[in-house]
Structure 1
Amino acid sequence: MALSPKNTDVKALFNTIAPEYDKMNNIISFGTHKKWRQKVMSKMTIPMGAQILDLATGTADWALALADSSDETTHVTGLDFSEEMLAIGQKKVDLSDYPDRITLVQGDAMALPFDDHTFDIVTIGFGLRNLPDPTLGLQEMFRILKPGGQLVVLETSQPDNRIIKPFWKLYFGKVMPVFGKIFANGKYTEYQYLDQTTENFMDYMTLGKLMLNTGFKKVTISRFNLGAAAAHYATK
């Protein structure tokens, strides 16, 4: 299994890119990351009074969307290891309609600071590939989910179409780092890293099998943009 590139201080990297993170997400994905999340949300069932954990919450976009799509008794906890990303996310939460229903905490997705069987739903968007050990991360997600709880993983993926794949590699390998240099105050190296994690991360079928091997059941997969991203849904 391919892990994150060695010798990369991922926390420091995300602290560095935090000020431009939201803008760059929109530029790099041409806004499609929002549509992907909307499609994923449309397939989720959120029970009343749910306890939801959004891992790698970053600037809290998915945490806010989860609060917006649930009833007023539902609580969303967003966890991230980058204090700079969380600081931006907290400002969004404070200005939202849900400051009392969203709690942002700093923590490690591979050593979650929660008791067993705490959450009804766990989500992680574009964060699993940044864990040094995705298997350990999935094991932690399984541990803190309640029996019957839902896991939703939205992640970049690799197209398997022979015609599309070379253009995909060109975009992520060459174009995206240049965007970082132009639009993110010269952060070329940081966006090279993000390309490496995208290109080296396991394919969607391997991830599905890993989830099953972790103990999850009923794993289903949706792919977006000719395989550029994939959503995995599973239950404990």
Structure 2
Amino acid sequence: MRKMNGEEFDELVSFFDGMARTTWLKQIHDTLKDTTGSWTDKEVLDVGCGTGRLLLRGAEEAKRLVGVDLSSEMVKASIQQFFYHELSGKSEFLVADAENLPFKEKTFDLAFSTCVMFLLPDPAKGIREIHRILNDGGMIAMLNPTEKMSQETAASYAKENGISGFERTALLKWSNVSTRRHRYTENEMTGLLQDLHFTEIKHKEVLGGLAIISTAKKEQNS
């Protein structure tokens, strides 16, 4: 499976920012924030941060917010976003590869990956990197498509939930990419996280079961 490169995403900044503002993805971001609890005094990382909108959810609480993305244009958009919200002083955005994060071991308390791991040729490599940079007991939170995701099921979900226009287009594009990459059952994701020394693994269905939010904690002294 071919690895993605940053240039492929550079021209999609406005599309991804628009997708992050759709009702369906905003709801998922809200759920991710609720699921991960308070970010107070936490060092928070978003791997594949796009235009930074997920990190804005807990920006007032967090001690520090860091976003990485393969796309330099996404990183520029995130920097601009946080400057606009007067949060430049507690945030940092870098061009970086999910499989080779430019951070020391045990740097972060919480790490997100919402639209990245399933795109990698080997998602375990990216999750292993997140494990490395998390503090003991630190949390990983991911969004991944399930085995139920397809163009047909996404179109049905959009119809049943009155999703139309750009919001429908964005959902169908996301589903189309998903079917060409990796999709997971809850058991498969649990097994992957256990193999990589995560514990307290939990899953929450979103988009009517077409995707799952998975959270887990890094084992102590692992």
- Superposed CA RMSD: 2.6
Question: Cα gap change, 1:132/1:44 in structure 2, threshold over 3 Å: closer, same or farther?
Answer: same
Structure 2 unaligned segments of length 5 or more: list them: 158-164
Query: What is residue 161 of structure 2 aligned with on the other side?
Result: none
Specify the code of the residue in structure 2 equivalent to 1:213. Answer: D
1:95 aligns with 2:84: yes
Question: Cα gap change, 1:167/1:144 in structure 2, threshold over 3 Å: closer, same or farther?
Answer: same
Aligned partners of 1:10 and 1:31: how far apart in 2? 28
Query: What is residue 201 of structure 1 aligned with on the other side?
Result: 182
Aligned partners of 1:147 and 1:109: how far apart in 2? 20
Question: Cα gap change, 1:111/1:75 in structure 2, threshold over 3 Å: closer, same or farther?
Answer: same
Q: What's the offset of the Cα at 1:171?
A: 6.7
Query: What is residue 16 of structure 2 aligned with on the other side?
Result: 21
Query: What is residue 11 of structure 1 aligned with on the other side?
Result: 6
Name the % identity: 20
Q: Are the equivalent residues in 1 in contact too, given 2:151–2:175 (CA < 8 A)? A: no
Query: What is residue 204 of structure 2 aligned with on the other side?
Result: 222
Q: How many residues align?
A: 206
Deviation track 1:30-78 (CA, whole Å, cap 9, x = no partner) reads 521110110121121335321111110010111211314x25xx10111
1:168 aligns with 2:153: yes
Query: What is residue 100 of structure 2 aligned with on the other side?
Result: 111
Query: What is residue 160 of structure 2 aligned with on the other side?
Result: none
Aligned partners of 2:135 and 2:17: how far apart in 1? 32
1:154 aligns with 2:158: no
Query: What is residue 32 of structure 2 aligned with on the other side?
Result: 40
TM-score by length of 1: 0.77
Q: What's the offset of the Cα at 1:210?
A: 0.5
1:82 aligns with 2:64: no
Q: What's the offset of the Cα at 1:166?
A: 7.4
Aligned partners of 1:124 and 1:166: how far apart in 2? 23
More off after superposition, 9-18 vs 93-102: 9-18
Aligned partners of 2:154 and 2:33: how far apart in 1? 28
Q: What's the offset of the Cα at 1:195?
A: 4.2
Specify the code of the residue in structure 1 equivalent to 2:191. Answer: K
Q: What's the offset of the Cα at 1:155?
A: 2.4
SS at 2:26 equivalent: helix
SS at 2:124 equivalent: helix
Q: Are the equivalent residues in 1 in contact too, given 2:154–2:210 (CA < 8 A)? A: no
Specify the code of the residue in structure 1 equivalent to 2:15. Answer: E
Aligned partners of 1:47 and 1:37: how far apart in 2? 14
- Which of the pair has the greater relative contact order for Cα pairs under 8 Å at 6+ separation? 1
Query: What is residue 231 of structure 1 aligned with on the other side?
Result: 213
Q: Are the equivalent residues in 2 in contact too, given 1:64–1:98 (CA < 8 A)? A: no
TM-score by length of 2: 0.82
Aligned partners of 2:131 and 2:108: how far apart in 1? 10
Q: What's the offset of the Cα at 1:101?
A: 1.3
1:138 aligns with 2:138: no
Q: Are the equivalent residues in 1 in contact too, given 2:111–2:139 (CA < 8 A)? A: yes
Aligned partners of 1:92 and 1:143: how far apart in 2? 28
Aligned partners of 2:68 and 2:25: how far apart in 1? 20
Q: Are the equivalent residues in 1 in contact too, given 2:145–2:183 (CA < 8 A)? A: no
Query: What is residue 51 of structure 1 aligned with on the other side?
Result: 43
